Amino acid sequence: MRYLLSLILLFFSSPVVYPAAPFSHHALDQILEAYVDSLGRVDYLALKKSRQLLDAYTDSLGLYSPHSHPALFPSRNHSLAYWINAYNALVLKGVVDAYPIESVKDIKILNGFFRRTSFIVGGRALTLDAIENQIIRPQFKDARIHAVVNCAAASCPALEKRAFTGEDLHERLQAAFFRFANDPQYVFLDRQNEKLHLSKILDWYGNDFTHWFPTEHISGVSKPTLIAYLSLYLPTEDSTYLRQHPDIDISFNDFDWALNQQSRP
């Protein structure tokens, strides 16, 4: 009886430990829904006038990250979603801090916005370049991120109106890269002149589409190439054409650094 009583007392006196809820991106959802249009352009003027929610969200990024609080990120996808959202939100913050500008190139010369502007993330000072090239790309090795990481330039893929989450990250990345590969602004097959016009992003980060390419999923591919990766997302007739023309001339488009802002009346 005493033993049973001891167990009951131990049960009720022991603290109950509940698992931490995943880090919330709800504030970023609200920001994107309110200030980003269907083309991915941002109303920076309105966002600058009502920036309290953006500041609150970026402040939360400053306190919590997968590095500082891993319990808030229960899976690899939750961590990657965090870093994609962090990059995009900090770009918004950096532009709003400097607005009005015509380009992120106006913020600091010699690519200083990306390489010499620091933000506090999980208690650490990080640049946008460090988030992308020291964390997202080498740690997660997923080339599809180039369709969702947004640098606030006209030639970047459109900023989406929803924050990313760990629960549906794979599906969101698949959909985003499918849109990217089928948008002639980024991938245009000119059969008449036997030329493939590609976004400069695919030139800058070309190795991401070959070093981590899942060749086992592609019938007849003996060597991973950028074109083979793109073919996963292109219409069948385009993929077939490219397979039949392995030496097609590739041209990379000039990159337009104009700010991805909404036009105002």
Output the 3-class SS for 91-126: HHHHHHHHCCCCEHHHCCCCCHHHHCCEEEECCEEE
Tens of pLDDT, residue by residue over 33-60, are 999 999 999 999 999 999 999 999 999 9
Q: Contact at 8 Å (CB) between 217 and 233?
A: no
The predicted structure's pLDDT at residue 8: 37
Tens of pLDDT, residue by residue over 66-89, are 999 999 999 999 999 999 999 999
- pLDDT category, 109, cuts 50, 70, 90? confident
7: left (phi over 0), alpha (psi -120 to 50) or beta: alpha
Nearest-CA neighbor of 92 among 32, 168, 12? Answer: 32
pLDDT at 213 over 80: no
pLDDT at 16 over 50: no
C-alpha span between 9 and 14 (Å, rounded): 8
Tens of pLDDT, residue by residue over 119-145, are 999 999 999 999 999 999 999 999 999
The predicted structure's pLDDT at residue 126: 98
C-alpha span between 28 and 201 (Å, rounded): 25
**16 by DSSP, 3-state: which?**
coil
C-alpha span between 22 and 166 (Å, rounded): 9
